[in-house]
Amino acid sequence: MGLFSSKKDTRVTVGARYRSADTNLITWEVASIFNGIDGTPYAHIFCVQDQSRRKTVAQSSLESGVQYIRLPNRGA
pLDDT digits (tens, 9 = 90+) for 20-70: 888 888 999 999 999 999 999 999 999 999 999 999 999 999 999 899 999
Q: What global pTM score does this model have?
A: 0.82
> Are the CB atoms for 29 and 16 separated by under 8 Å?
yes
Q: Are 26 and 10 in contact (CB under 8 A)?
A: no
Q: Whole-angstrom Cα distance, residue 8 to residue 12? A: 12
In this predicted structure, the answer to whether residue 3 has a pLDDT above a threshold of 60 is no
Write the CB contacts of 72 (distance below 8 Å, at least 6 apart in sequence): none
